[in-house]
Structure 1
Amino acid sequence: MTTQRPRRTQAERSAATRTLILDSTAECLLERGYPATTITEVQERTGLARGTVQHHFPTRADLLVAATTHVVEARLRRFRHEAELVPPELDRLQALVDLAWRDLNSPAFFTALELWVAARTEPDLRAKLMQEERRVFDEMRTVYLDVLGEPYGTDPRAATLVEFTLDILTGLSMTTMLNGHLGEREAALRRWKRALAVLAGTLPAHELLAGRPPARRR
């Protein structure tokens, strides 16, 4: 005997349609950038009628403000999952850098980057993005401190080490995105791991430059 699936309610169908629209918006932001992410482009990607898209998001501004929260949620889900996969035997400072680097090179990060740039000149988007970014950073900082564990977790320097790591690796990710110099990126990551160990007091300061290539002659 075949069991018939219960029909979805109107609310469930509406939520599924909204998710489809926002997923397509995030894909468009990543693939084509903010200027090309229009209602028409999103409507074509979803295969929905334009009226259906505009029923949920009457204007492009409404769509992109909603996409901001959607992108943040996707980034947080991926980040939590990655944090759960960190091997317990891995050095905690290295684990911090590796976790941050994976996040800052994820599709969700580069999608958010498109929104950051656009928010500079769009007040409504900027207000929403600032609200959501505070939320994402607060949660990520908590997870980073959990990943560090003891003795770092209760060390008053730990929060500063996390902040430094996020700031430095964000800049490195954006630079690598432009120039594609993967060798320089790997070298910079290794140096920052050593620098963190020095700052945390687990590596002598004179070891910081160990393995660094000689300076170029002018």
Structure 2
Amino acid sequence: MLESTIDALAQDGWSATTVAVVAERAGVSRGATQHHFPTREDLITAALEYMFDTRMAQARAEAVALPQGPGRTEAVVTRLVDYYTSPIFRAALQVWTAAAADPEMRARVLPLEEKFGRVAHRTAVDHLGADDSDPRTHRLVQATLDLARGLGLADVLSDDSRRRGEIVKVWASVLDASLSVDAT
């Protein structure tokens, strides 16, 4: 049901993602869905948690394949940007947009956003091998996450992959040089 919720959000948007639509996509009855998730908000909140857990498991698995030495920073930045251009991000974006106008949904999403933000930052720091105790490095990592999110937003309405790839290369070289300077 949770994967069906994510798919519906990513493909059809917030308004079209109803309990009935999710139940149909999942091949279960609406009653069965509502047994586990009494409200649409409960279902979507659970889907957000599932998206987060799925993404973190992917990030841990991908970390093993990251190159050591030259090319690592670009590989990390590329993976971050890939996440923000993925269906999971598109689904989350639908929920974040709805939460901006719905106080009840906002109250559910804000704690998750804080949790997701902290873990995403920590994961980026770990993958970059950066010293997050340095305030400048902390801001550089946060700027990288903000850049990745912005590139993801730019990709929502049209394929921006060519420009995005060029930006990733340039930012990775700037970040690599900046982190190297900070390490000395």
The two structures have a TM-score, normalised by structure 1, of 0.73
The two structures have a TM-score, normalised by structure 2, of 0.85
Q: 1:81 maps to which residue?
A: 61
Higher relative contact order (CA 8 A, sep 6+): 2
Q: 1:178 maps to which residue?
A: 157
How far, CA to CA, are the matches of 1:40 and 1:183 in structure 2? 38
Q: Evaluate the alpha carbon distance shift between residue 190 and residue 66 of structure 1 in structure 2; reply closer, same or farther with a 3 A threshold.
A: same
Q: In the alignment, which of 45, 56, 66 is matched to residue 65 of structure 1? A: 45
Q: Evaluate the alpha carbon distance shift between residue 102 and residue 82 of structure 1 in structure 2; reply closer, same or farther with a 3 A threshold.
A: farther
TM-superposed CA distance for 1:145, in Å, is 1.6
Higher Cα Rg, which structure: 1
In the alignment, structure 2 segments of 5+ residues that lack a partner are none
TM-superposed CA distance for 1:116, in Å, is 0.8
> What is the correspondence of 1:1-218 to structure 2 with a 5 Å cutoff?
21-149=1-129, 152-153=130-131, 156=134, 157-200=136-179
Alpha carbons 1:176, 1:182 under 8 Å: kept: yes
Where 1:35 maps in the other structure, the secondary structure is: coil
In the alignment, structure 1 segments of 5+ residues that lack a partner are 1-20, 203-218
Identical aligned residues as a percent: 33
Q: Evaluate the alpha carbon distance shift between residue 58 and residue 181 of structure 1 in structure 2; reply closer, same or farther with a 3 A threshold.
A: closer
TM-superposed CA distance for 1:154, in Å, is 5.6
Matched AA of 1:164? A
Matched AA of 1:77? A
Matched AA of 1:74? T
How far, CA to CA, are the matches of 1:52 and 1:43 in structure 2? 8
The structure with more helix, counted as a fraction of residues: 2
Question: CA offsets, 1:26-52, max 9 Å, x none?
Answer: 111112111110111112112222221
Question: CA offsets, 1:151-203, max 9 Å, x none?
Answer: x326612211110111112111211332323322222222212322443365x
